[in-house]
Structure formats: structure tokens, C-alpha cells
Structure 1
Amino acid sequence: MSREIAAEHVQAALTQVLQKQEGELPDLTEDTKLFENLGLDSISTIQLLFKLEDRTGLEVDTEELSTEVFGTVGSLTDFVAAKLADATPSIEA
């Protein structure tokens, strides 16, 4: 699955968690900080993780998480993209 799809999942989950309508989030960039710029806290971080699991079908082990994962939109997108890539079976020729 592409990184663009992971980014769409992250943006949609953030929209839900922050209870914003489509398009009401500020312009998200790779460097948008989840805590400082978007106002996430510990509760909303857990909600975000659950929303991402629901949207993608992934199950995330909390042992895999670090503060760096939830640092920026880019770091969270990288994490989701990597998890999706790991979950997608490779096709061998």
C-alpha cells in the first residue's frame, strides 16, 4: 500500500479524533506537530490509534510505539505506511 494511502488514513483519522469536518483541519504538512500544532493529548492519541486501526485493519502492539511515532504527521504516516507494507503479503514471481 502506498504512502499516499497511509497519509489519507492519517488525515481522516485526525479529522475524526479532532471532531473536524472534512477540510476544516489546518493545512497538514509532514512537519505538522501532533501535540503542539494540533493540540493532541494522551486521550486523543489513543483515540487516533484506535481510529487508524479501524480504518486500516491493522493491530498495533503498544510495544512498537514511541513518542517519535506521534511526533509529526510525517512520522505517523511513515509508521502507518510501514505497518501496512508489513501486513501486505508479498507476491513472489
Structure 2
Amino acid sequence: MSESTAVAPRERIVDAITSVLAQVLDYELPALTEQSRLFDELGLDSTGVFELLMQLEEALEVEFDTDNLEMAHFETVRSLADFVAAEMDR
């Protein structure tokens, strides 16, 4: 793996999260920030979490270790981006 692909830029991760959220929730999202709350503001549910993870794995070419998953990772766009970045670094 080249150095440029070893660590995904945060912007790419956040863009992927935003894009996949729009698909999973099936509506155009308002402008999201890293503080946007996935359950409270956007209406993500447990079924959506599963779909979100599967599509993020495909979009970012990563496989998440489900042993590391915690509901806190889905609190905000930032917390999810932090989790994804950590998974991509392992």
C-alpha cells in the first residue's frame, strides 16, 4: 500500500459518510457538520447503522472490526469519522 493510500484523508472519510448517509436515509440531507447527530438529528436507526457500515466498507475499501464497534461511534459525524479513520489505520 502506498503512503498516500495508507491513511485516508479525513475529508474523504467525512464525504463518504455524508454520501452514504443520504443513500441509507433515502433523502437529501441538509448541510452536515462533524457535530451533526446521526440518531437525534438525522433519524438514523439500528437498521440504518448496519447498511451505513456495509456501504462505507465498500466506498472506502475497508473492513471494519465489529469487535471494536460501540454505539458511541454513531453519535455524531465526527465520532463516526474518528472510528472509520482508526479502522483504516489498523
Length-normalised TM-score, structure 2: 0.85
> Whose helix fraction is larger, Structure 1's or Structure 2's?
2
Aligned to 2:60: 56
Contiguous gaps of at least 5 residues in structure 1: 87-93
* Aligned match for 2:48, one of 44, 48, 66: 44
Could you tell me the TM-score, scaled by structure 1's length? 0.82
Structure 1 vs Structure 2 CA RMSD: 1.1
Using the aligned pairs only, state the percent identity: 45
Q: Match of 2:12?
A: 5
- Runs of 4+ residues deviating >4 angstroms: none
1:91 counterpart residue number: none
Larger radius of gyration: 1
Instruction: Show structure 2 runs of 5+ residues with no match.
Output: 1-7
